[in-house]
Every structure is written in C-alpha cells, then in structure tokens.
Amino acid sequence: MKMSNPSRAAGPPLPGGLQLTKYSFGVGDRFAHQAKAQLRACLLAARLGLEIIPVWNKSNREHTIVGSKPGSVRTAAEAAVRELGWKKPFHVDADHITLETVEGFLESSDYYTLDVAAAIGKPALTSEVDSFLARHPELLERIELPGIERPLEISRPAAAQIAGKYLFAAREASRIYRRIEAAKGKGSFVTEVSMDETDSPQTPAELLVILAALADEGVPVQAIAPKFTGRFNKGVDYVGDPVQFESEFRRDVAAIAHAIRVYNLPAALKLSIHSGSDKFSIYPAIHRALRDFSAGVHVKTAGTTWLEEVIGLAEADGDGLALAKEIYAQAHAHRDELCAPYATVIDVEIAALPAPDEVQGWSSPQYANALRHDQKCADYNPSFRQLLHVGYKVAAQFGQRYLDMLDACEQSIARNVTTNLYERHLKPIFLAEQLSAAAR
Ligand SMILES: [Zn+2]
C-alpha cells in the first residue's frame, strides 16, 4: 500500500521534521463538501499577509456517526488545495485518537491528536512519582514566567499529586506516539496531545508538569489541548468568566514558552483550543495573549461548518429550506438520543425548542436567523442551534439525498461557510491588528 507523503504539498520536510506553523486553524467537514469554502477563509487572511494554516480534523466518533473513512478527509482537502492553488502547508488531523483507533488513520493523516483523557487519574506508582520529582527539582523552585506577575510556585506535595495524576497519561501518549512513529517515521507528522474531554480544568502548574513528563517520554508535542476553565459548549459562546479565562490562558501561554526552553520541546509547541468555534466572548483575550507573548495557537472547530451547511440550505429556500425543516423535525423527534453522547458539552433547553409544526411555517430568513450565531439578532435561538449541532446524524441517515442537496445549494452554503470562518473566527482571533493597519 502506498503511504501518502504528507509533506508533499508543503515541499521537502524540514530538517527538524514537519513543523506546525505558528497560527493554524482546525476545520471539520462532516460530509466532505466544504473544504474549498473553508480554505477560502484562509485565503482571505493570506491576502492581508497573515499565514493561517488549515488543518482538516475528524475524530473516530465523527467518522462512525457519519459512516465515512479517514482517507476521505485527505481526498477532500487535497482537491480543495489543488482547485484553489493553495501553496502553503495544510494538514489532516486524526482527532482524538487512542491506541484502539489509531490504525485506520495511519495512512492518510499527518497530524495526530493523541487523546489521553481516559488515562488521567490512573495512579502512577509511588516509585515513579519519586523518580520524576528527583529528575525535576526545577519544578519545586519559584518559576518566574516572563510577562506574568505572579511566579508559579509548586509545593512538593502538589507536584507529587499532579505527577501521580498525569504520569500514566504521559506514558499513554508515548505509547500512541511510538505506534505512529513506527508506521510513518520520525518527523513526518505533527503530534498534539489532548486532555480536554475530562471533568476538571488543568492549571498552569499541571500543564508544566505534564509537559515535563511528555519531554521525559520523548514525545515531540507541538500542540497541547488542556481543558480550560469555563464551559466550551458545542457551537455556542463561552460560558464562564472571561476575565478568569484570560488570566489562566496567559499563564498557560507563558508556561509553554518556559517548557520549550527548559525541556527542549519543539519550538513550535503551542496551545490547542478544542471546541474553539463560536467562543466570541473570549476571542479578544486570546488575541491579546498571542500579541503580547508573540505566541502561536491552534484553534479547533468542527460542527460550526455543519451548521452553516444547514443555514445555507435554509437560505437557498425551496427544496433546501424544506430539507432543513425535515432535519429539524427528525432531530426534535430523536432529541434525547442525539443529545446523550454530548451531554457534557451542550445545554439544550427543551422548553425553548420551537415545535416542528411551527418551524414548518417558517420563511427562509426565519430559519436562518434562528440558527445563525448572531447574538444581536432577536430570532437567534441557542437551543435550536445546539440541537441541530448534534443532529448531523439525521443528515447522515438521509444519505445521498442530503449530499445531492448540498450540491444543489452549493453557492448559498459556501457563502455562509466562508463568511462564518473568516468574519466570526479568523478575524477576531488573529487579525485585529492587520485590519486596523489596513484601515489606517
Ligand atoms: Zn477535543
């Protein structure tokens, strides 16, 4: 079997191996029809001189629900790159993979998000914790983080407790990493480690201990996805205290810069923000941190594009709108089973859901306005949006009928997909300075 060469599009591999660019943006394309519209958002940013690298991500869970195969993500991405003449790198992310699910992604991905959340808290041996602490006396000293007022201070008991909680997970990351390295070769892929799908957020001190442990294991981690403080619900805004988020995010960014120096981790290492779409109230804080620390970031999105597909169908009116209404009616009928797997990352208020009969009478703008994430619009309904967010299984069951309608309504969908990513995501996260410079 021919292994695809992921660095092909980006030129020969760099001497230090494949390196993730400073700014990268993860996009999900559940039905493999929007890669071009997504890439156009990066092209618009490139026109302002800003390099934002697209990473197409799809998890095993998503493939299972949609009934797609990992190779289809690369095929769609390569077609978009070819058609739009994108000359910069791009990546295909095997999102949230484990040792059990990695096999199917070995051929077509060049970016791997090793999910070790399930290994967090599996106790490490006391002897392992002791030798980790003996190896890392620097963790117990006052750690001055440039740009952060309060130094990081980790007591010995705290360090032992953190190491006990995370050493097993670091070992698990190493196991998955070795499996990929054996199949693809060192330096030929990007490694991300994710811990976001767990109960409690990680503190900057925990992040530092985890990075030290990953360095010990020889995992060349280039992106790390902690669980941040607050709720990152799917497809809607951040729920939490943006001020607290900003202070912790800045400490995380500074801790990463420190870890790169002290533990000789890849210079490209940066934070990865999962469920990063639609978190409008914290984008200014993220933007300020990137600017003040000259830091990079990876922001992962997925379902926001699927929702734009449905908005595009609704805006196309006629058969498109009719299908969008049918999707809602089915999602409403099966709301309990659709919401269950996502219970921790959605807040659907059942009483706020319009009855399918009522939606049946909606005009095209009424449907689009209820669904589109515009908090200033009086018709916007976050419960309606979140139910449809998890409702992609319904479209998957429609099969070819749904795909044909995507083709028929392509213009209206593509316009919504590109505008959503560029105007509501890339601009506020990455582009504020470029835009004000351009306006001067
Ligand atoms: Zn995640």
Give the pLDDT score at 226: 96
Q: Determine whether 201 is exposed, middle or buried from the number of CB atoms within 10 Å of its CB (0-12, 13-18, 19+).
A: middle
Average pLDDT over residues 141-149: 94
- Asked whether the beta carbons of 86 and 42 are under 8 A apart, the reply is yes
Compute, in angstroms, the gap from residue 320 CA to the centroid of ligand 1: 31
Q: Is the pLDDT of residue 393 over 50?
A: yes
Check residue 371 and give its pLDDT.
98
Question: Above 70 in pLDDT, residue 374?
Answer: yes
Q: What does the pLDDT read at residue 433? A: 72
Per-residue pLDDT at 342: 87
The Cα-based distances of 318 to 176, 184, 405, 408 in angstroms read 48, 48, 11, 11
What is the Å distance from ligand 1's center to 400 Cα? 29
Percentage of the chain lying above the pLDDT 70 cut: 95
Q: Can you tell me the distance from the alpha carbon of 16 to that of 2, in angstroms, rounded to the nearest whole number?
A: 24
Condensed to tens digits (0 to 9), the pLDDT of residues 228-285 reads 999 999 999 999 999 999 999 999 999 999 999 999 999 999 999 999 999 999 999 9
**What integer pLDDT is reported at residue 343 of this predicted model?**
87
**pLDDT at residue number 440:** 62
Could you tell me which of 38, 95, 41, 87 has the C-alpha nearest to residue 68? Answer: 95
Residues with CB in 5 Å of ion ligand 1: 196, 274
Per-residue b or e along 152-177, where b marks 16 or more CB atoms closer than 10 Å to that residue's CB: bebeeebbbebbbbbbbbbbbbbbbb
Count of beta carbons in the 10 Å neighbourhood of residue 335: 16
For residue range 113-136, what is the model confidence (pLDDT) as tens digits?
A: 999 999 999 999 999 999 999 999
Distance (Å) from CA 71 to ligand 1 centroid: 20
Quick: pLDDT tens for 172-195. Answer: 999 999 999 999 999 999 999 999
How does the average pLDDT of the chain come out, rounded? 94
Region of residue 152 (left: phi > 0; alpha: psi -120 to 50; beta: else): beta
Q: How far is the CA of 276 from the centre of ligand 1 (A)?
A: 9
In the reported structure, the alpha carbon of residue 111 is separated from the centroid of ligand 1 by a whole-number distance in angstroms of 14
pTM tops 0.75: yes
